[in-house]
Amino acid sequence: MSSQTFLFGETATRRSVGAFVKHYHTERNHQGLDNELIVPMDRPPDMEAEIETTARLGGLLRSYQHAA
């Protein structure tokens, strides 16, 4: 399955890059950091809570976390 995004104009490009940077720094585990986030969470997740999905850029970027 492949996805494509067409960006028209500077505003759309800036919004897309901003969404990617937020995903990269706050939602994606990094192998070079022992699978930790670049920006750590404020508090540990509630392991009993249900899993939520966050989709960015029309579903191209997805992350999963325990509900707050």
pLDDT tens, per residue, the chain with 68 residues: 556 677 889 998 998 899 888 888 888 888 888 888 888 777 777 788 888 888 888 778 888 887 76
Q: Where are the domains of the chain?
A: 10-66
d(CA 64, CA 18): 19
Strands 61-66 and 51-56 come out as antiparallel
Torsion angle of the four alpha carbons 18, 28, 55, 20, in this order, in degrees rounded to the nearest 10: 20
* Whole-prediction pTM: 0.62
Amino acid 14: pLDDT: 92
